[in-house]
Structure 1
């Protein structure tokens, strides 16, 4: 596991990130790997998936059992404690052009620094809560970049009065407003035939607990996808908006990404 940082002219600051490398990465210097970008939730950082989600131990176990292929897992840092004045969010906001940073600086940096295969067929994205919404937005707005999206307990939209309380924090007000503007549900509803066809090229998966605070909006997104004729898998399990749920979701998500990578490789070879 590698913790590193990137200095971003776009954001005007340095951002840390974590990379989980395959166990034999250094012993196979000519081998390249699929890559998974795994996004954290609001108030969290790149450390969350390792400290609380235990992604390394889950990955090691599933690779050992043969259920998951070796892949590089990248967790960027798009947050921190927003009530301490730290920006949060994976989309562009006034003063925080994170989407531009991710695609123009961060992704090229990762895929030149580490031995990533570097094509759409071997690049996937997923995340929890804010990161679940962020991964969905990235899949929608950049369908040529990812073969699969896995959204856990995802912040797909907010109603007019929804979102975390701002407590006078301007950045939280901007965040809540931008989530509404980037509504993943409205995106599907507004999509023309060409855009919907591009969305159909991605493997979509929504995973949400039946006691999750975002359950209704995740179901609404899934239904909107069905209405638009865009295939999307749905998993509803017993659980709430917490790390216990997201840790167990990895046992479905990581094999799902493996199947997506394998399918795309097979299709390319035909």
Structure 2
């Protein structure tokens, strides 16, 4: 075979197969350990006016290593669980370290990550009876706060791309339910949706997505849950509905329960797919393989 033809064929095959081969099913050891020699992103606390709640609210914002104000970035909104607040991911999930390490390996599209408080009420602290009616309802109210107050604030303060193709939402547990509820009800606002171990606040499938084919507009629909998690039925219910309606999505069942070991792994995998041209079917097949 002519050497030039062989070289060209090798390049084509590498483009087709390398992305699948290098997509880990599980985060490698040390993925969440800080490497001082690597460039670091920055975490800031911001305060925004919430007309929905009628008060000033806080969120954390992660900007990537090498962040430049002259460059526009896509945005991921990353939501916490029922017992957390805007600092839960930061304290227990160390997203800044996970993402820093992925950037150092060249595995991420540069993005801004917003960590909001998903309990949209005047006293939004995770104290007292976190299951009380008003606090649970506040997680549903957050949809208006997110769409009408937080996103416009971020898009005014930070150099971000404003098209739906450049906006992602993901979350764990209660935040996973919020993610599926908000993301699938607002496909005109989000093109990338990731529910990690979604909680019982996840709406019934027909209410969640009454027009299933609408979800074909998503770039990525990710649903994951630990195989020992008692909340598995809520993720499986949604995935089954999507499968019955031939909606492309990734349903990833991973080892573990309802904890940050699982959710950190989810973030490690999910973040690598964002804002890229991906084949959900191929990735899903790989994650299901032994």
Question: Which TM bucket (shorter chain)?
Answer: 0.7 to 0.9
Q: 1:232 to 1:184 in 2, by over 3 A?
A: farther
Q: How does 1:70-219 map to 2 (within 5 A)?
A: 70-79=110-119, 80-81=126-127, 83=129, 87-88=135-136, 92=140, 97-155=141-199, 157=200, 179=201, 183-188=203-208, 191=210, 195-202=211-218, 203-219=220-236
Q: Report if aligned partners of 2:61, 2:112 keep a CA contact under 8 Å in 1.
A: yes
- Encode CA deviations 1:159-197: one digit per residue, 9 max, x unaligned: xxxxxxxxxxxxxxxxxxxx3xx61423257x1xxx322
2:259 to 242, 246, 261: 242
2:274 to 248, 257, 268: 257
Q: Report if aligned partners of 1:38, 1:73 keep a CA contact under 8 Å in 2.
A: yes
Gaps of 5+ in 1: 158-178, 264-270
Q: Report if aligned partners of 2:165, 2:275 keep a CA contact under 8 Å in 1.
A: no
CA RMSD of aligned residues (A): 2.2
In structure 1, the residue corresponding to 2:86 is in which secondary structure?
coil
Q: Return the index of the structure with the highest Cα Rg.
A: 2
1:45 to 79, 85, 91: 85
The CA deviation at 1:63 is 0.9
For 1:82 and 1:198, how far apart are their aligned partners in 2? 40
How many residues end up aligned between the 2 structures?
A: 229
For 1:188 and 1:83, how far apart are their aligned partners in 2? 28
For 2:179 and 2:235, how far apart are their aligned partners in 1? 13
Q: Could you say which residue in structure 2 is the equivalent of 1:221? A: 238
Gaps of 5+ in 2: 1-42, 120-125, 281-290
In structure 2, the residue corresponding to 1:259 is in which secondary structure?
coil
- Encode CA deviations 1:77-103: one digit per residue, 9 max, x unaligned: 0232351677346654xxxx3222211
Q: Report if aligned partners of 1:37, 1:124 keep a CA contact under 8 Å in 2.
A: yes
For 2:103 and 2:204, how far apart are their aligned partners in 1? 32
Q: Could you say which residue in structure 2 is the equivalent of 1:169? A: none
TM-score normalised by the chain length of structure 2? 0.73
Q: 1:262 to 1:225 in 2, by over 3 A?
A: closer
Q: 1:236 to 1:131 in 2, by over 3 A?
A: same
For 1:81 and 1:144, how far apart are their aligned partners in 2? 35
For 2:205 and 2:271, how far apart are their aligned partners in 1? 25
TM-score normalised by the chain length of structure 1? 0.79
For 1:207 and 1:89, how far apart are their aligned partners in 2? 24
Q: 1:138 to 1:261 in 2, by over 3 A?
A: farther
1:56 to 96, 100, 107: 96
